[in-house]
Structure formats: C-alpha cells, structure tokens
Amino acid sequence: MIWNPNKECMSRDEMHALQSKRLQKLVTYVYHNVPFYRNKMQGMDLSPEDIRSIDDIVKLPFTTKQDLRDNYPYGLQAAPASEIVRVHASSGTTGNPTIVGYTRKDLAVWSEVMARCLTAFGVTRDDTFSVAYGYGLFTGGLGAHYGVENLGATVIPASTGSTEKHIRLIRDLKISGVACTPSYALYMAETLEKMGLTKEDIGLRIGAFGAEPWTENMRKEIEERLGLKGYNIYGLSEIMGPGVSYECQEQNGSHICEDHFYPEIINPETLEQLPYGTQGELVFTTLTKEGMPLLRYRTKDLCTLYNDPCPCGRTAVKMGRIVGRSDDMLIIRGINVFPSQVESVILTMPEFEPQYMLIVDRVKNLDTLQVQVEVRKDFFSDDMGRMLAMKKALADKLKSVLSISADVKLMEPGSIERSQGKGKHVIDNRKLV
C-alpha cells in the first residue's frame, strides 16, 4: 500500500520541478526571515533570485550543528513565535540542547510523512499500533504517535519502560505493530521469553525501528524472536524527527520523503556534492519547513544515495544504511552522546583529572556506557563513603546532561592513556557489522 501515490510515485521530472519550486520559495523565505542565512548569503554575494532550480542548491551555504548551538535557542527560527505550536529538543554538547520549533503546518507535514512510512510497513486503519519510543522532548514518541493517528490506526502511547505491562497489552489488545529502537525490540523479545510467553502468544506483525544504527543481523534476530517484519525508519530532530525516510516491502534502502527533505551526499572534507551511488556525508534541506527551516544541514551520518527504480513503485531516492559518522557522536540507546559533553561535566568537578574514557558496549542487547575518570590525588579519601559519594555525584551530573545513565568507574591518577594531540576518548565495543 502507498499512502500518497501522487507524491511517493511522482515521475522524476515532476519531482525535480516540485523541488525546484519549493527550494526557490524556501530560499526567499529564509533570506527574509533568518538573519543568519541572509548574512551568509550576502557574504557569498548570493541573492534568492540566483536560485532557479534545485540544481542550484550547491550554491547555498551549509548549516552545521555548531550553527544551531551558536544560535541557541531560537536564532534560526524563521516563523514568528505566535506561529510555533510545539518545541522539541535534542541533547547538546555544551549544555545547550538543540531547540526545534514546529508550526501547525510543520506538524501536519510530519504526520503526513509518518503515515507514508507506516503505510509502507503495512499498517492500516484496522491495526492497533503501539509507540514505544520515549515521549517527551525527544521527537520519537510524539512524532510516531501523530503519524499513527493521522493514518487512522489506533495508537497505544506505551513509551519506554514497563516492558512487561507493554507486552501484556500487546497480547490483550491484539496490538499488531510497534515502533521503538531496535535494541529495545530485542529487550522486548527477552522480556517476552522471561515471562514464559512465545511470539505466537502475541500477534505482532510489524516493527518500525529507528533512532539508532542497526544491522541486518539484528533485523534477522528481532524478526525471528518477535515474529514480525522489521522496517527501518530514519529521521533526525533538526530536520523533523522520525519519518524523513523509510523502507518499503523490499527492505532494501529507505525512501526519502524528497518532496519535503532534499537529500545530498557530500565529501565531508571538500564539501563537494557527490553523485548517486557514492558514499559520503548525508545533507538535508527542509524544502517545506516553516518553524526552523534549514539549508543543507550536515547530518554527519555517512551513507550512500541510490536512484535506481524500486519494484515497490515509489520513485523517491533511497538511502542505504548509515555506516558511520563523520564526527565523534555516539548513539547510545537512541540518544546522541558527544564525548565533549562528558568532558564538560568532568571539568566542572575538581575531584577529577581532565582525563576520561568512554567504554560503550552492548550487553544483552542493551547499550551500556561506562565513564572512566581519574581521581585527583588531593581528593583521594580514606573514607569509602566519601569516595562513593564522589562517584555518585558525577553519575548524577552525567545523567542530567546526557539523558542516559552512565556507570562511573574511578581510576587511579595517571592510569588513563594520554595521547598526543587529539585525545582518543572512546572505545566502542558494540559489533554493528
């Protein structure tokens, strides 16, 4: 099934024309409403009239996460505050989260693209669908929620946690689909087995999995243990949230909602646009966004775009799996974590040396984060209670900054390896290939 064949199956020429029209409108809009973009364009001797087709996008400036930080909280917002009806936020690296405001129309577009995704996965009005992404500032929960409502299926706002209760609801309410992170899906499988139930006891058919990188092997395992078909859904809060791209029944690359989010692949070093089929950094331009439209936002996600025809009938360009990052961001339990966030917390505590190491692992399908820090000699105490309090104080601060809990390990002074130049601060033991 296809939710919006007019858009999802548009001919490439029509799509090119639509994108060109929308880009022209967008550039005029941001030029007049966002001083940041106006200044950038003026600095490049560029005016909105210079953009005549989508191919002119290469003339436009890029936007980075740093730009969002520098313009915290509302500097890149184009719509007046009176038009903003909702705000989401993603974690920031220096204490400032990234704030994204949505107008009523933005939310309508979001529900539209989410309905496309869910329909591609096979969800219909007759389904009861549960959303087990976190509800709150994170875009996963509410984004998926309104998509299910828009489609007309019954939404169960399960959120995360209370996994046993959730599984009982899946059984009792005959829930046929679930949206969550792939690692949470594996945790659900484990809980199901622990409860003495089997996949036959529940009737899950469809899984919409995203917010963190996952592999074909994880897909096989989830499908096998939960008895469903698992589809990839991709998104990022800066652009919209979940729903930017989605897999079809082919399960071979994710179709991008290109009429709203224009994708490019660039060489992260030279910033030069690369042709389809070449791996590089994924860049998005929000063609229709009103609240916080972005020109050529660098996602730092590394992947490849494909434009070969898809048997499903959709004509939109597909993106392959995310194979890595062009920065040091980690995705742990679906949450973005930068080593510099940990560093900024450690620097506020005189008890610790400014040396640290993050050890990331996946234990029983759940991501774990250990933060190793060196205790300063002057702060070492013979009192075990004080040492444990020091450890807890750091764990609490990390939790509030990172939004996920970390296991703090106190180390002897000088025991963490010092490196020349840019320090190596991460050991990621998760096997994702």
Partner 1 sequence: MTIKQLSVFLENKTGRINEVTKILGKHGINMHAFSMAESTDFGILRLIVREVDKAVEVLRNENFAVMLTDVVCISCPNEAGSLSTILDKLAEQEIFIEYMYAFAEGDKANVVIRPNDIEKCVQVLQECTCNITNKF
* Residue ranges in contact with partner 1 by CB under 8 A: 375, 377, 380-384, 387-388, 409-415
Structure tokens at 301: 């996600």
Nearer to partner 1, 89 or 387 (CB): 387
Q: Do the beta carbons of residue 295 and residue 312 sit within 8 Å?
A: no
**Strand order from edge to edge, sheet including 407-411:** 407-411, 366-375, 352-363, 426-428
- At its nearest, how many Å lie between partner 1 and the CB of residue 373? 11
Write the single-letter amino acid at 361. D
How far is residue 422's CA from residue 433's CA, in Å, rounded to a whole number?
26
**DSSP code of residue 30:** H
- At its nearest, how many Å lie between partner 1 and the CB of residue 392? 11
Structure tokens at 134: 């976190």
Give the H/E segment covering residue 85: strand 84-90
For 157-306, where are the E strands, in sequence order? 177-180, 206-210, 229-236, 241-247, 254-256, 261-266, 273-274, 279-286, 297-306
Structure tokens at 26: 């967008």
Distance of CA 391 to the CA centre of its chain: 30
- At its nearest, how many Å lie between partner 1 and the CB of residue 408? 8
- At its nearest, how many Å lie between partner 1 and the CB of residue 163? 26
Nearer to partner 1, 18 or 349 (CB): 349
Nearer to partner 1, 196 or 385 (CB): 385
How far is residue 164's CA from residue 174's CA, in Å, rounded to a whole number?
15
Q: Which SS3 state, helix, strand or coil, does residue 42 take? A: helix
- At its nearest, how many Å lie between partner 1 and the CB of residue 398? 15
Backbone angles phi, psi at 126, to 5 degrees: -80, -5
CA-nearest of 184, 164, 140 to 365 is 184
Nearer to partner 1, 72 or 379 (CB): 379
Nearer to partner 1, 27 or 375 (CB): 375
- At its nearest, how many Å lie between partner 1 and the CB of residue 390? 11
Nearer to partner 1, 39 or 405 (CB): 405
- At its nearest, how many Å lie between partner 1 and the CB of residue 413? 5
- At its nearest, how many Å lie between partner 1 and the CB of residue 377? 5
Nearer to partner 1, 197 or 411 (CB): 411
Nearer to partner 1, 271 or 387 (CB): 387
CA atoms within a 13 Å half-sphere pointing along the CA-CB vector of 236? 22
Nearer to partner 1, 180 or 375 (CB): 375
Write the single-letter amino acid at 153. A
Strands 98-103 and 84-90, by their bridges, are antiparallel
- At its nearest, how many Å lie between partner 1 and the CB of residue 412? 5
Q: What's the angle, vertex CA 89, arms to CA 84 and CA 90, rounded to 5?
A: 150
Q: Do the beta carbons of residue 83 and residue 274 sit within 8 Å?
A: no
